[in-house]
Amino acid sequence: MSEVSFSFDDKLYMGHQGEPMAAALLRSGVLSITNSTYHGRPRGIVGLGVEEPNALVQLVSGTQESILPATVIEVADGLNARSLTGIGALPELPDEARYDKTNRYVDTLVIGAGVAGIMSADEHVRAGREVVLIDDQPKAGGYLRHLGQELPSAMRDILAHGNLTYINRCTAVGLYDQNYVVAIERRSDHLGNSASDKRARIRVWHIRADQVVLAPGAFQRSLIFANNDRPGIMLSHAAATYVAVHGVRIFSRAAVVTIDNQGYRDALRLHNAGIQVQGIFDARPKAGGPSVDAAKAAGIPVRFRSTVLNTASNAEGALHSVLIQDLDTKETFQTAADLLAVSGGWTPIVDLATHIGIKPQWSSEHAAFLVSQSTDRLRTAGMLAGDFGGDDDPLVFFGPALDSEQARKAYIDLQRDTTLHDMRRAVGAGLHSIEHIKRYTTIGTAHDQGKTSGMLTIGALCQQEGLSPADVGTLSFRPPYVPVPFAALAGRERGLLSDPIRITSLHQWHVEAGAIFEDVGQWKRPWYFPKPGERMDDAVRRECVAAREGVAVMDASTLGKIDIQGPDAAVFLDRIYTNMFSTLPEGQCRYGLMCKADGIVFDDGVTTRLGKNHFLMTTTTGGAARVLAWLEEWLQTEWPDLKVYCTSVTEHSSTIALVGPKSRQLLKELVKDIDLSKDAFPFMHSREATIDGIPVRIARISFSGELAFEINVAWGHARHIWERLWALGRPYDLTAYGTETMHVLRAEKGYIIVGQDTDGTQTPYDLNMSWVVSKKKEFIGRRSFQLPYLKATGRQQLVGLLPENTDEVIPEGAYITVLNAHPDEHGKTRHTGFVTSSYYSPTLRHAFALALVADGLNRMGEVVDVPIGKKVLRATICDAVFIDKENIRRDS
């Protein structure tokens, strides 16, 4: 392995390429990485992998990813990291790394490339199946790697088989129904400076497998005793691996505390590496087996029925000595040690199994929860299935009896600084369910999600309440198994690619004209067109005045358009809309409102009859897809006998709205082949015409209340028509306007926007639109108008509001009250409605608003209060139509 240098907390260290950063730090004498988050106690490296609760770092280089355990970061040239105290910091710069995702369908997915996983993979390959084997480590072998052993050649051959794909550094983070697994492959961080920036840093795998084998292995756990968190107290398997495999030489005297034979194996490895092992303190009354015999033969003292009660530290906070207690006599004695290796038993990794609702079963023989049941599509192998391999013979034991002073220093969750005392307090508060205790104490809620603390919590609860873990059950784990960067989940769908952007065929003109855009769904729409030096208010007032007094033009192409054809099209529309469409003559348009079956307004728009069996429906810009789905649902599932075909044609044609008293005069200069006069071409009529030989359809539709013409033209010809209008319009001071002016103009006329002036609880009657509800026919929603709660008085109704202060635009969404009136049962003022649309009207020279007010249509002229912060604005309820109630301008 090559030697490379890396930075940690601004100091340079040497390490072997590919080894865990924790190993290199330990070898350099860095035992204490940081202080604990809440209690500020020094904490050292405890574990070997993702279970590590203490040694958290943040990358300084590259992506600046946070909350990474030093036990999983591989040493690489250029690695630069700093220690973290529990809380990470968001990077200041955007993450420039690449992330991607891929799908894989396979016969068998094996999770975990330890011996059990490799043997399972072999079994499936031999059965002629295609196998994917994923493992979160850099190299396969699992436990063997911790022993420093090479993979036997037979297993290397299995990995090399043509029907097997082995993916290393790939962590399964979620197991879902139907053997769907999401896994995260880390592909470049371990390469350090030599990584190509074209290589995806993380690849998200979406794997669907006919069969899944879970062989994830197990985490070792600690014990609960006083001051069990000092640097120098480690899981025995981790300590032995750092010493024996990674050449850590910073410890001289070790004590080993155990409840199984794993402690003996680890003690022997420490002894063989030259560390003086003061003793193996075994909570069991006796122990046997090869592991025990070997440790004894090496001359390591063994004391049964003893365990660690407390520890002491030196001035730096690192472990100095250990207080051992005889579990029978309760006598204690001190042992000097700078390393306390704790073997508290193995906790098989049940996380993925619990993701899909499998309940692990307690096994006293293993002192562990296991998942041994299998189905024809999901099996477990290795330690999770109870195959511990050795002669472990563990005792169900989680720590000695502690008094309340000791319990305050006996940590269960090192990340959250939660102690046995905290757990006892939770039980004292009446919490007995492990899930409730977790939430009360926050145990298991940190980045490690209780990988080592979960089982200790269960053990402590059992010792407290005299229960068996079988009674308590495991905590539920939820995906992801390890933290996953959001950047990985986003993949390439970020920035411009995060969502499609829809633009009209006139978009480039708007850009060149300096438009400010707003997002309406996925559409970019011009919001307003400021002239140099103009603020938004100035631009909107200028645009409004042009539309009301001269002529103005707007791009209305984003309106949803649905082409409806078929012999039953008219019958169908009669059922969908609240008003009648079968009586609409060809070449004419009609405003329509649609309700859901519950009588609530759902969408609106103008529909034109292009032929006997041919209609063009327009919908709100944001409602196009939803309306089409609604039409299809009725046609397919209720009225299959109707011969009607619906097609989305939103992008087939552009719509240019030419608005204002001078619009006819301007349009006459461009359209020569039809008569545009008031009598020949009345309001709500549609005509085919040509402009420069281009076929257009012109409709007298007005969303402003002014004389207006909507020119519909094939998408690709819109810019030509627009520019012709623009050139001819110069003498008229033709003004382009955006959505803000459109809103002011329509609100002045009391025209609603479904979703802005409605909140999903209004009937047409609530909107004062009974004129659009047919009394002569059946339609969706009609029956609901008879329901008592839709007929009741006091429902919120659409009205206008005129603020007392002519310049004060009330914020949209503001609550409307009448102070000191309508108190509720507590004597407090109840709100009586809210503001839905609110603008300044240059035409009225007055601020105005639309609002939904309880019984509002019967409260004309009433003065209401609108509290805004500490101010109270006053306004008068009025009709929702502010301009041209007689529609003289519109019909002119």
Report the interface residues with other proteins, using CB under 8 A.
176-180, 208, 597-598, 629, 632-633, 636-638, 640, 778, 782-784, 786-788
Find the shortest distance in angstroms from Cβ 358 to other proteins: 13
Which lies closer to other proteins via its Cβ, residue 429 or residue 787? 787
List the beta strands (DSSP E) in 580-707.
589-595, 601-611, 614-619, 645-648, 653-659, 686-691, 694-699
Which lies closer to other proteins via its Cβ, residue 633 or residue 879? 633
Find the shortest distance in angstroms from Cβ 783 to other proteins: 3
Find the shortest distance in angstroms from Cβ 72 to other proteins: 30
Find the shortest distance in angstroms from Cβ 101 to other proteins: 14
Find the shortest distance in angstroms from Cβ 380 to other proteins: 19
Contact, 194 vs 321, CB < 8 A?
A: no
d(C-alpha 687, C-alpha 793), whole Å: 44
Query: For the stretch 691-716, what's the b/e string if a residue is b when 16 or more beta carbons lie within 10 angstroms of its beta carbon?
Result: beeeebbbbbbbbbbbbbbbbbbeee
Find the shortest distance in angstroms from Cβ 736 to other proteins: 37
Distances (CA, A) of 582 to 568, 570, 589, 613, 651: 10, 5, 12, 10, 27
Find the shortest distance in angstroms from Cβ 772 to other proteins: 19
Which lies closer to other proteins via its Cβ, residue 778 or residue 825? 778
Which lies closer to other proteins via its Cβ, residue 637 or residue 793? 637
Per-residue tokens: 478:
């939820």
Contact, 666 vs 732, CB < 8 A?
A: yes
d(C-alpha 446, C-alpha 488), whole Å: 21
Whether cis (ω within 30° of 0) applies to the bond prior to 216 is: no
Find the shortest distance in angstroms from Cβ 787 to other proteins: 6
Tally of helices (H runs) and strands (E runs) in the chain = 23, 47
Which lies closer to other proteins via its Cβ, residue 787 or residue 868? 787
Cβ neighbours of residue 24 under 8 Å, at least 6 residues apart? 6, 13, 14, 15, 16, 75, 246
Which lies closer to other proteins via its Cβ, residue 196 or residue 636? 636
Q: How many CB atoms within 10 Å of residue 430?
A: 8
d(C-alpha 407, C-alpha 420), whole Å: 5
Distances (CA, A) of 351 to 142, 276, 384: 18, 37, 10
Find the shortest distance in angstroms from Cβ 180 to other proteins: 5
d(C-alpha 122, C-alpha 397), whole Å: 37
Which lies closer to other proteins via its Cβ, residue 305 or residue 626? 626
Contact, 224 vs 459, CB < 8 A?
A: yes
Which lies closer to other proteins via its Cβ, residue 199 or residue 478? 478
Which lies closer to other proteins via its Cβ, residue 509 or residue 779? 779
Find the shortest distance in angstroms from Cβ 632 to other proteins: 6
Find the shortest distance in angstroms from Cβ 107 to other proteins: 16
Residue the block writes with tokens 């019909």: 891
Which lies closer to other proteins via its Cβ, residue 614 or residue 782? 782
Which lies closer to other proteins via its Cβ, residue 208 or residue 720? 208
∠ CA(523), CA(524), CA(527), 5° rounding? Answer: 125
DSSP per-residue codes, 454-513: HHHHHHHHHHHHT--HHHH-PPPP-S-SS---HHHHHTT--GGGSS--B--TTHHHHHHT
Contact, 311 vs 227, CB < 8 A?
A: yes
Which lies closer to other proteins via its Cβ, residue 157 or residue 638? 638
Q: In terms of Cα–Cα distance, which of 488, 402, 397, 427 is closest to 185?
A: 488
Which lies closer to other proteins via its Cβ, residue 629 or residue 819? 629
Find the shortest distance in angstroms from Cβ 598 to other proteins: 5
Which lies closer to other proteins via its Cβ, residue 14 or residue 629? 629
d(C-alpha 576, C-alpha 559), whole Å: 19
Which lies closer to other proteins via its Cβ, residue 778 or residue 824? 778
Which lies closer to other proteins via its Cβ, residue 79 or residue 601? 601
Find the shortest distance in angstroms from Cβ 209 to other proteins: 12
Find the shortest distance in angstroms from Cβ 177 to other proteins: 5
Find the shortest distance in angstroms from Cβ 782 to other proteins: 7
d(C-alpha 891, C-alpha 684), whole Å: 9
List the beta strands (DSSP E) in 17-111.
32-35, 42-44, 56-59, 68-69, 80-83, 99-111
Find the shortest distance in angstroms from Cβ 634 to other proteins: 8
Residue the block writes with tokens 């109630």: 885
Query: Can you give the C-alpha Rg of the chain in angstroms?
Result: 37
Which lies closer to other proteins via its Cβ, residue 361 or residue 784? 784
Outline where 178-327 has alpha helix (H).
Answer: 236-244, 262-272, 290-297
Find the shortest distance in angstroms from Cβ 538 to other proteins: 44
d(C-alpha 105, C-alpha 466), whole Å: 48
- H or E, element range at 546: helix 536-549
> Percent helix, strand, coil in the chain (nearest 5)?
25, 30, 45
d(C-alpha 292, C-alpha 285), whole Å: 13
Find the shortest distance in angstroms from Cβ 781 to other proteins: 9
Q: What does DSSP say about strands 332-336 and 339-343: parallel, antiparallel, or unpaired?
A: unpaired
Per-residue tokens: 651:
């992008």
Which lies closer to other proteins via its Cβ, residue 253 or residue 782? 782
Helix (H, G, I), strand (E, B) or coil at 115: helix
